[in-house]
């Protein structure tokens, strides 16, 4: 299994974040934001488990209809006292969060996430979420609906994302 493949937890099917310990060089895994760590992550390729598409912002599984196209970037996780973590690839959004991202209404997006997001997002400091979404805004290059996303010619990475969204 290549390290570049999307990894989710075999226990809960939650997306996992990969980082490399600077002291040991060892690859480490942790659950992405919005998930309480009630178990250790068990990384597997996303295609090995059934997953439901979730909004990467508010964590809803309803009406996820928008893709935020983004270049890879380093998330400001040092603000939380953790190691640097990267965001690779595109983000999924529900209709409400997608409109807020398209308008770059970061303050309103954070308010929504703090009100309806998963436990991790609700507990994350507002300052961190604003910095994270502003960094996403600096790296995003388009917002597209799922219908248009699926209809466009696919690159290998796009095909991986499309296959993931179709599961």
- Spell out the domain ranges in the chain: 51-166
Position 16 scores a pLDDT of: 80
DSSP secondary-structure letter at 155?
P
- pLDDT of 124 > 90? The answer is no
Q: Is the pLDDT of residue 4 over 50?
A: no
Instruction: Band the pLDDT of 1: cuts 50, 70, 90.
Output: very low
Local confidence band at 54 (pLDDT 50, 70, 90 cut-offs): confident
Query: How many C-beta atoms surround the C-beta of residue 98 within 10 A?
Result: 25
91 with 68: CB under 8 angstroms?
Answer: yes
The confidence score (pLDDT) of residue 109 equals: 95
Residue with tokens 């979420």: 129
pTM: 0.61
89: left (phi over 0), alpha (psi -120 to 50) or beta: left
Helices assigned H by DSSP within 57-125: 95-102, 106-116, 119-123
* pLDDT grade for 44, boundaries at 50, 70 and 90: confident
pLDDT of res. 142: 83
120 has pLDDT over 90: no
- DSSP codes of every residue in 124-161: S-HHHHHHHHHHHHHHEEEEEEHHHHHHSPPPHHHHHH
**What integer pLDDT is reported at residue 3 of this predicted model?**
43
What is the pLDDT averaged over residues 103-125? 89
Please name which of 68, 66, 42 lies closest in space to residue 136, comparing C-alpha atoms: 68
Residues 62-105 have pLDDT tens digits of 778 888 888 888 888 877 887 777 777 788 899 899 999 999 99
Backbone angles phi, psi at 3, to 5 degrees: -65, -20
């Amino acid at each position: 299994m290549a390290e570049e493949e999307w990894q989710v937890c075999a226990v809960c099917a939650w997306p996992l974040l990969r980082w490399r310990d600077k002291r040991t060089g060892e690859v480490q895994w942790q659950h992405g934001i919005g998930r309480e760590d009630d178990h250790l992550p068990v990384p597997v390729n996303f295609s090995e488990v059934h997953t439901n598409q979730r909004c990467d912002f508010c964590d809803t599984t309803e009406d996820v209809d928008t893709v935020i196209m983004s270049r890879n970037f380093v998330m400001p996780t040092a603000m939380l006292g953790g190691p640097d973590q990267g965001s690779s690839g595109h983000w999924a959004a529900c209709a409400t969060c997608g409109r807020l991202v398209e308008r770059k209404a970061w303050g309103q997006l954070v308010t929504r996430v703090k009100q309806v997001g998963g436990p991790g997002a609700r507990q994350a400091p507002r300052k961190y979420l604003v910095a994270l979404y502003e960094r996403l805004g600096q790296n995003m290059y388009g917002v597209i609906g799922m219908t248009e996303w699926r209809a466009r010619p696919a690159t290998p990475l796009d095909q991986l994302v499309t296959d993931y969204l179709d599961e």
